[in-house]
């Protein structure tokens, strides 16, 4: 059974998702992208969730990671990580003060689609501007065929041409598309339409 995504249910669903993701290994896209990063001084894990990616970035040699998430459950998980290396910020994407050209690496795993369509353009522009020249962005955007693409979702969705436009001026290192039935981490049926992205900032 397909389970719709709604803003009202989001906090409880995020808490359940974080619990389910707690001990998952890093995703392959993150591993590939992190291997391209040099130097590895400061990364942003945007929508850190269970902080799996934050842990991996530390293990991959990043000296500092800023982990951003709006869920208090994420904040509790972050307390397990070394404070001298991890700065956790409890904030929505829309409210975070993105520093200009601050990070060698920005990771946004399955988090950007949950920004409202109205807020997305501004937030995405500020997020991408936080990457240093020569730095990397990696993450996902959802396509129009995704089964969560409903008016009540409060999310944003993009065609392939939209994604290519958003990445204009960047060197795209990976842009792969999935459009298939599957399941969520919570075991629900879902049609996924996903763009997996890794891109390097050139200017």
**Structural domain spans, the chain:** 28-143+159-169
pLDDT of residue 3: 61
State mean pLDDT over 34-48.
98
pLDDT digits (tens, 9 = 90+) for 96-135: 999 999 999 999 999 999 999 999 999 999 999 999 999 9
State mean pLDDT over 34-62.
98
Q: What is the 3-state secondary structure (H, E, C) of the chain?
A: CECCCCCCCHHHHHHHHHHHHCCCCCCHHHHHHHCCCCCCCEEEEECCCCCHHHHHHHHCCCCEEEEEECCHHHHHHHCCCCCCCEEEEECCHHHCCCCCCCEEEEEECCCHHHCCCCCHHHHHHHHHHCEEEEEEEEEEEECCCCCCCCHHHCCCCCCHHHHHHHCCCEEEEEEEEEEEEEECCCCCEEEEEEEEEEEEECC
Residue in this structure with the two tokens 């998952």, named with its chain if needed? 24
Any residues with CB less than 8 A from the CB of 183 and at least 6 apart, and which?
189, 190
Give CA–CA dist 51/57, Å, rounded. Answer: 10
Does the pLDDT at position 1 exceed 50? no
pLDDT confidence bin for 11, thresholds 50/70/90: confident
Any residues with CB less than 8 A from the CB of 148 and at least 6 apart, and which?
4, 5, 113, 142, 155, 190
State mean pLDDT over 177-195.
97
> Which CATH architecture group holds 28-143+159-169?
3-Layer(aba) Sandwich (3.40)
pLDDT confidence bin for 4, thresholds 50/70/90: low
State mean pLDDT over 132-161.
97
The pTM score is 0.94
Q: What is the mean pLDDT of the chain?
A: 95
State mean pLDDT over 150-161.
96
Does the pLDDT at position 7 exceed 70? no
């Amino acid at each position: 059974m397909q389970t719709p995504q709604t803003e009202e249910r989001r906090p409880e669903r995020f808490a359940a998702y974080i619990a389910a993701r707690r001990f998952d290994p890093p995703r392959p896209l993150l591993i590939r992208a992190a291997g391209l990063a040099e130097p590895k001084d400061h990364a942003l894990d945007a929508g850190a969730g269970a902080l799996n990616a934050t842990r991996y970035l530390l293990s991959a040699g990043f000296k500092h990671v800023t982990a951003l998430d709006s869920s208090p459950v994420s904040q509790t998980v972050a307390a397990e990580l070394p404070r001298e290396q991890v700065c956790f910020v409890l904030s929505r994407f829309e409210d975070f003060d993105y520093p200009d050209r601050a990070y060698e690496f920005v990771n946004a795993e399955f988090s950007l689609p949950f920004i409202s369509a109205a807020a997305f353009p501004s937030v995405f522009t500020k997020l991408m501007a936080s990457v240093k020249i020569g730095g990397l962005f990696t993450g996902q955007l959802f396509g129009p065929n995704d089964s969560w693409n409903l008016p009540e979702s409060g999310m944003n969705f993009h065609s392939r041409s939209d994604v290519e436009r958003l990445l204009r001026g960047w060197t795209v290192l990976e842009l792969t598309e999935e459009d298939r039935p599957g399941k969520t981490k919570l075991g629900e049926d879902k049609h996924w339409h996903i763009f997996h992205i890794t891109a390097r900032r050139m200017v």
